[in-house]
Structure 1
């Protein structure tokens, strides 16, 4: 069956496009939640206490590959409305990227855990007040770096050290994208504080789409300057 015939059978109007988008949103959202399932039970059972920060990091470990697969799916989403296979793309992206993403995601979680524990016991340490501000700045910069590194590791094949360098480079090179990602982090943090740690997961598709949109200039420059095979 030709693409034209398939498109006509499915429909090409606004309603068909909306239905295709809704289908993709639901599938990606459900698969992202399912991929994060191993850590969800722990997040529900753990109390909001600084002593549980290492356990929080452990529970968040599956979220990296899951978000990477969502980014991969959205990036490779075809405009052909008759091609409704986001589930296959998600699984393909998960299998291809999980190991490489964990090389970035796990060290970042470990670093954020160390920063969080230091902030939680800041007064007991007896260090000056500016040290707390420095730790917060490190945490924010680290989160923005991780967002860029996650996109790079999800869409390209680089060594972990090269992903880290590129993410650091584009953190300053593309300030508009950095500010956009900062806005996403503020929203995610606000939802976590206002509701629960599971609240941002309910909007995983929206966060992935926003992260991918903010990263378009970075993706284009990487493809142009650092990818040999065009």
Structure 2
């Protein structure tokens, strides 16, 4: 019996099994991400790309935050051993544990970005000088990258919301590679959407979340080392 167990353990630790398990995990998480977000995101496919639709876009994006958080949690806690794969269980555990905490950050972020982008789009009608475009864009970038840090922190650690926000801002400066990497990921996502459609981006969701997690590794390591016991 122990020989069989040892054989399975060796099989589960091999390089081919690690690749196979990673593909399996990503496929399962892709299905779960689609399950938890597509009902809300489908209207985005028929919405015109007009600034007047930005409030609706923000509304439809609300379920995306908890889903991404759950996928981050599952990827961080899932082993690659083929004998011990539970991505779906980890996804739902992360979803239940973090959904409300994530929404406390995700919803205000969407509101801020909606206000900023609407003001940018209609700055002429609002009587704003074109000089306001630069500071508004900079604020939107900082809000987005700070929220990206905060989403990872909330998904993987148990801190109060105000402490999450402080850490998120702190690590914008402390680990500059993280916000730069997240900015590149967002640029790539925008490029995919512009060239094809939102549907193509949805089909790459689990891969995008994995890249997001890898980019955030330096911040995660420092938080674990310096702010947890």
TM-score when scaled to structure 2? 0.92
Q: Is the 8 A contact 1:35 1:62 kept in 2?
A: yes
Partner of 2:223: 222
Partner of 1:174: 175
Partner of 2:100: 99
Question: Separation in 1 of the partners of 2:217 and 2:60?
Answer: 30
* SS of equivalent residue, structure 2 residue 124: helix
Unaligned runs of 5+ in 2: none
Per-residue Cα deviation, 1:41-70 (whole angstroms, up to 9, x for no partner): 321232222111111101000000000011
Per-residue Cα deviation, 1:115-140 (whole angstroms, up to 9, x for no partner): 11111102223322221111111111
1:200, distance to aligned residue in structure 2 (A): 2.3
* SS of equivalent residue, structure 2 residue 81: coil
Q: Are 1:58 and 2:49 counterparts?
A: no
Alignment root-mean-square deviation, CA: 1.7
Aligned length: 227
Per-residue Cα deviation, 1:86-121 (whole angstroms, up to 9, x for no partner): 111111111111111000000000001001111110
Partner of 2:189: 188
Q: Are 1:84 and 2:90 counterparts?
A: no
Partner of 1:133: 134
Question: Separation in 1 of the partners of 2:137 and 2:194?
Answer: 16
Unaligned runs of 5+ in 1: none
1:5, distance to aligned residue in structure 2 (A): 4.2
Question: Separation in 1 of the partners of 2:194 and 2:138?
Answer: 19
Question: Separation in 1 of the partners of 2:108 and 2:96?
Answer: 20
